[in-house]
A and B are shown apart, each in its own frame.
Chain A
Amino acid sequence: MTDMLLHAFIYLSAAVVAVPIAKRLGLGSVLGYLIAGVVIGPLFGWVGDEASELQHYAEFGVVMMLFLVGLELEPRTLWSMRDRVLGLGGLQVLLTAAAVSGIALAFGMPLRSAVAAGFALSLSSTAIVLQTFQEKGLASTQGGRSAFSVLLFQDIVVIPMLAIIPLLALPELVSAIATDSGHGSDAGHAGASLVADLEPWAAAIVVVGSIAAVVLGGRYLSPRLFRMVAATGLREAFTAVTLSLVIGVALLMILVGLSPALGTFLAGVVLANSQFRPEIETNIEPFKGLLLGLFFITVGAGIRFDVLANEAGLVLALTLGVMLLKGAILFGLAYLFRVRHSEGWLFTLSLSQAGEFGFVLLSYSVANQVIAPEYVPILTLVVGLSMFLTPLLFIAFDRVVVPRYARDREPEREPDPIADRGKVIIAGIGRFGQIVNRLLTANGIETVVLDRQVAQIENMRSIGMKSWFGDATRPDLLQTAGIEEAALFVVAIDEPDQAVGIVEHLKHRHPHVRVLARAFDRGHEFRLREAGADYAIRETVGSALALATTALRELGTHPFRAENLRATFEATEAQVDDDLYEAWRRRPDGERMGHDYRELFMQLDAAMADAMQRDRDDRHTRAERGWTPPPKSYTDDLEEEAESND
């Protein structure tokens, strides 16, 4: 127990120290984690063998990441990517594996080992690449999308590779005693399996059935489940359901011999249209982040400095050679698939490393007597080092490639007024938020709607509104809802205190967003204004004044005059409101939330009545002022003047 806690403490504190420093230096979090791993592993030896063990758990972070990536991709988008996945991904893996095998063969490696090494080195690091894309906002660029297509193909192809490797077993190694198979555990081929003992056709049915279960279950069953759990209002229950969904899908995929990453990715795509998407994302995100971080640390900790010291020249030459080779193939493919200019460079630089699947394939190859054990430390080191170098390539991309192409491109960019306008996030889609939303969407303005009431969300969805279940008071959920691109935020939720909290948060963290808020009453309006709302309006004022105006008309006031009286009332109130607000802001401390609140409110009311009284006395003419006719005798002077002119 203490061991575990100690390790957890070391890993976490290493991350806490290294990551902010790396980010401050512009190196990105991935490099920070890797360096942290090197520091606590090979450098100081605070952690030891359990690092490689931990890595297997931490790889689950990759699974979660693919789930999250899937959530961002609607099925339609995925379908439109199919050519890229198969063409670009297929060619990349095929060409790289062939080239690596060929070179290994030329250097005297046995054919079968060379093929296995080709497999291992052809794959790139989903973890590093996607994490960095996310961090730098590159995921939706053309280069980012293309790189993702390749990674997706790699995640799929790793399964057949794992199936082929045992068939490559070298006779001379098989006769030797199998080496430590503990490290050989992998995604699909160790432990329990549903399909191992089945006939091929039966196995196929089970596999297809499992995929169908994920898709159909995700489509039809999970919404009910989420709705049920959401109704309980327990945040942790929702987290538990989400986690168990991801773990369950991964488990099912492992049992039928498919890639767990692929399975959860699929589940993510199925849920991409769900109203629960932001909430799911928000719940999984921290787990993914922690696990991935841990994964990167273990990669850093796993770098064998003893091997590196002994074979420095060889390892460095191999690493650079592999990256150059992969890069050259990627660059050619990018050109072929019309991923040009800076996008092509992004594609090339981001995928030129070997990846975490390389570790798996290498240890699996050793366990299956495909590669002689003496090669493995060096090859593993090559994989690890290439991953270590990747963040540096991203930095090169930022500092060298982007400025070059940005300079070329700048003048032709035309501002797009409609896109510039940005979208509107509406928190709370009850009776109030709905009206706001209708006017905006009726005029072609993009809105994103958040609400905690599942029923409201489903109503909105049934009429085709983009709306999501979620608690708008959670900062991370706002992130997922797209607060960065939002121009405007409408706070229309029922709970006064939470509304104030949201406004405070928005003004603090996202000062670029204009905040318009619905106030419950005057006190609430003042609190919203104090919190920084750009506009706060009491929810009842508009309709009550409309009714009062109708009342005046019913009593015989001329409709136009009734309108003017109302306008005067509103203008006066707005003025009084400002005065009252200033008075309220200067209130003694502690009067805001306590039981003095009611008393304060009575003071406000009294002040208001006083102000209205004053208005009736002094400014009586105000309502009368417009369109005032001149005095009855005013023409006398003018006529006099005209006569004297004659």
Chain B
Amino acid sequence: MASIVEGKRILILFAHPSIERSEVNVELLRASRGREGVEVVDLYAEYPDYRIDIDREQDRLRRNDVIVFMFPLYWYSTPAILKEWQDLVLEYDFAYGNEGTELVGKTLLCAMTAGGPEKAYHAEGFNHYTLRELLRPIEQTTSLCGMRFLAPFALFAARKAHEEGRVRRHVDDWLQLLEALREDRVDLEAASHAATLNAALDQLLPTTRGASE
């Protein structure tokens, strides 16, 4: 093994069923590609017929430390292929069960966009639940697999982000987070309790932001 890469290895599972209409996720995808130690998989491109190769995906999970689900929120959940991916790849005796310890100790987070504004994802807002509440099925899946679940890295009111010039900043934040995850600089304990990673980015990455400001 000549190429031992230092730092955590990150797997981004990208799921966007109509990427040609994407304004935010496609930028995140583009920015994430080609970075050392980051493996990017466009699920809809690789499995346009939803026939996910279980062995290949399990190998990917084995060789990475941080798993990222990157997607736009569809009906308070992931796009269908990400659910299909969970149903197929997270097998008994691989991800859970007596022998299923392959994922123990790894980290999972959702990098997602949501259509509604942040205040809508609230008990009083029209979506009634916070993102963290809506993501509970994934959080519990993570827990059953022995992984650490981080708060989502989210962009709210994503449909208007492009017009309002918020995409650039979001992508920059994402790259900073990605780098911090690679270098294992993120306070994972704090990150697993935050509402979103964005709001707490300054505290989570004390060495970079704190020092420079």
Residue numbers of A with Cβ under 8 A of B are 567, 571, 625-631, 634, 637-638
What CA separation (Å) do A631 and B96 show in the bound complex?
12
Q: Let me know if B3 is at the binding interface, CB within 8 A.
A: no
Determine how close the nearest CB of chain A comes to the CB of B210; give it in whole angstroms: 37
Q: List 22 A-B contacts (CB under 8 A).
A: A567-B49, A567-B51, A571-B51, A625-B54, A626-B54, A626-B87, A626-B88, A627-B87, A627-B88, A628-B91, A628-B92, A629-B92, A630-B92, A630-B96, A630-B97, A631-B92, A631-B97, A634-B92, A634-B97, A637-B97, A637-B98, A638-B144
| Complex Cα–Cα for A567 and B50 (A) | 11
Question: Taking CB as reference atom, which chain B residue is nearest A629?
Answer: B92
Bitwise interface map of B from 20 to 64 toward A, beta carbon under 8 Å scored 1, else 0: 000000000000000000000000000001010010000000000
B96: chain A residues at CB < 8 Å are 630
* Extra pairs beyond A567-B51, A626-B87, A631-B97 (10, CB < 8 Å): A567-B49, A627-B87, A627-B88, A628-B92, A629-B92, A630-B92, A630-B96, A631-B92, A637-B97, A638-B144
Closest chain A residue to B91, Cβ basis: A628
Task: List the A side residues contacting B97 at CB < 8 Å.
Answer: 630-631, 634, 637
Query: In the complex, what residues of B have CB within 8 A of residue A638's CB?
Result: 144
Say how far B193's CB is from chain A's closest CB, in angstroms: 20
Question: A571 to B51, alpha carbons, bound, how many Å?
Answer: 10
Closest 4 CB pairs of A and B: A630-B92, A626-B88, A567-B51, A627-B87
Within B78-105, which residues are at the interface with A (CB < 8 Å)?
Answer: 87-88, 91-92, 96-98
Q: A630 CA to B93 CA in the complex, in Å?
A: 9
Chain A, Cβ-Cβ closest to B53: A571
Kindly list chain A residues whose C-beta atoms are within 8 Å of the C-beta of B98: 637
Chain B window 183-203, contacts with chain A (Cβ cutoff 8 Å), 1 for yes, 0 for no: 000000000000000000000
Residues on the B chain within 8 Å of A629, using CB: 92
Distance to closest chain A CB from B66 (angstroms): 25
CB distance from A41 to the nearest CB of B (A): 62
Q: Which residues of A contact B49 (CB under 8 A)?
A: 567
Chain B residues whose CB sits within 8 angstroms of the CB of A567 once the complex forms: 49, 51
Give Cα A588 to B88, complex, Å: 44
- Closest residue of chain B to A627 (Cβ to Cβ) is B87
Most buried by A among B51, B54, B88: B51
Nearest CB of B to A227, in Å? 43
Please report which residues of chain B, range 105-154, place their CB below 8 angstroms from some CB of chain A when the two chains form the complex: 144
Residue of A nearest to B55 (CB): A625
Give the complex CA separation of A637 and B87 in angstroms.
Answer: 21
Q: What residues on A are CB-neighbors of B87 within 8 Å?
A: 626-627
Complex CA distance for A629 and B88, rounded to whole angstroms: 10
CB distance from B90 to the nearest CB of A (A): 11
- In chain B, residues 157-180, which have Cβ atoms closer than 8 Å to a Cβ of chain A? none
Cβ of A37 to closest chain B Cβ, rounded Å: 57
Smallest CB separation, B51 vs chain A (Å):
5
Contacts of A634 in B (CB 8 A): 92, 97
CB distance from B142 to the nearest CB of A (A): 15
How many angstroms from the CA of A181 to the CA of B102 in the assembled complex?
Answer: 100
| A234 to B51 CA separation, bound complex (whole angstroms) | 50
CB distance from B4 to the nearest CB of A (A): 32
Residue of A nearest to B52 (CB): A626
| Chain A residues positioned under 8 Å from B144 (CB to CB) | 638
Q: Which residues of B contact A627 (CB under 8 A)?
A: 87-88
Closest to B89 in A: A626
Most chain B C-beta atoms within 10 Å of own C-beta, residue among A567, A634, A637: A634
